[in-house]
Amino acid sequence: MPSQINNVLFVCTGNICRSPFAEGLLENLVDQKGLEGISVDSAGLLALPGRSTTPLAQQVAAEFGVDLSECRAKSLSQDLVAWSDLVLVMEKSHEEALLSAFPETAGKVLLLRYFARHGSRRRGIADPYGLQYEAYRFCFLDIQDAVSGLVEYLSGGTMVFEPISVRCYEGYKADESPRSFEWAGRTYHITKIIDRWYDGSLDGRLEATDYFKVQTDDGATYIIRRNRLFDSWAVMVP
């Protein structure tokens, strides 16, 4: 990945759903954060130039504060590739097609979910085209998570975890059902496991880690994780 990122390009299939939303969202967040020198664009590998974003894309994007009403599709071009410092694609097939057509993008093309804060960073973001509202909503939430992580990266922020001690339900594996954790001299009782996911590579180059999004008895929500290699736990510092 380039050490200096000024020009970010989002790429999807038709440039009428996913990549325009990612572009608009990043532009909004860059403005909110006061980040300077960041330019954003989007394009499609199989775009029909001039085509409008879908009505549902416009509707759901508006719920996130992103206006897609004036967006028009454009095809990925040599000029856009040369302009970009970072190319973010939605699916593995996009990455493969892009590298085949533009070999010079090697080293600066990544799956958008590489920057995701929650869940796997190696899966794609499904295309909602032709589907119903719920599919668009889920897709755009997925993109929001990844773009928010990208903004943290661009602003120099990192996720900070601190060690904790965890108690789990008896009769369950330690990585299945945490029931409470101790942190900063206080015990937090877990009332609900909202979500859980696994991060790690099949080839062993990344540490295998289980993540849990939990609600505690004080009503707060935390992200805790377990490193399987060292059987150690940590909590994300809010």
Residue 69 sits in a domain whose CATH number is: 3.40.50.2300
Query: Which of the listed ranges 31-35, 115-119, 137-141, 211-215 does the model predict with the highest average pLDDT?
Result: 137-141
Question: How many structural domains comprise the chain?
Answer: 2
Catalytic entry in 18, 113, 225, 226: 18
Q: Using the structure block, give the residue that is written with the tokens 């973001």.
A: 125
Q: Is 142 a catalytic residue?
A: no
Q: Is 12 a catalytic residue?
A: yes
- Domain co-membership, 104 together with 203: no
- Domain co-membership, 143 together with 167: no
CA distances, 161 to each of 50, 78, 93 (Å):
46, 41, 33
- Domain co-membership, 128 together with 177: no
Catalytic entry in 41, 85, 127, 199: 127
More confident residue, 121 or 25: 25
From CA 234, how far away is CA 140, in angstroms rounded? Answer: 29
What is the predicted pLDDT for the residue at 127? 96
Q: What is the CA radius of gyration of the chain?
A: 20
Catalytic entry in 12, 17, 139, 168: 12
Show the domain range for 138: 7-154
- Domain co-membership, 117 together with 186: no
- Domain co-membership, 35 together with 104: yes
From CA 236, how far away is CA 162, in angstroms rounded? Answer: 7
Quick: pLDDT tens for 154-203: 887 556 788 999 998 765 554 568 999 999 899 999 999 987 877 654 33
Q: Compute the 3-state secondary structure of the chain and give helix, strand, coil in percent, each to the nearest 5.
A: 30, 30, 40
- Domain co-membership, 82 together with 130: yes
- Domain co-membership, 13 together with 62: yes
From CA 79, how far away is CA 135, in angstroms rounded? Answer: 32
- Other Cβ atoms within 10 Å of 131 Cβ, number: 14
- Would residue 2 count as lying in a domain? no
What is the predicted pLDDT for the residue at 202? 38
- Note the pTM of the prediction, 2 decimals: 0.69
From CA 211, how far away is CA 195, in angstroms rounded? Answer: 8
Q: Is 71 a catalytic residue?
A: no
From CA 70, how far away is CA 77, in angstroms rounded? Answer: 21
Question: Which domain-ending residue is among 121, 154, 187?
Answer: 154
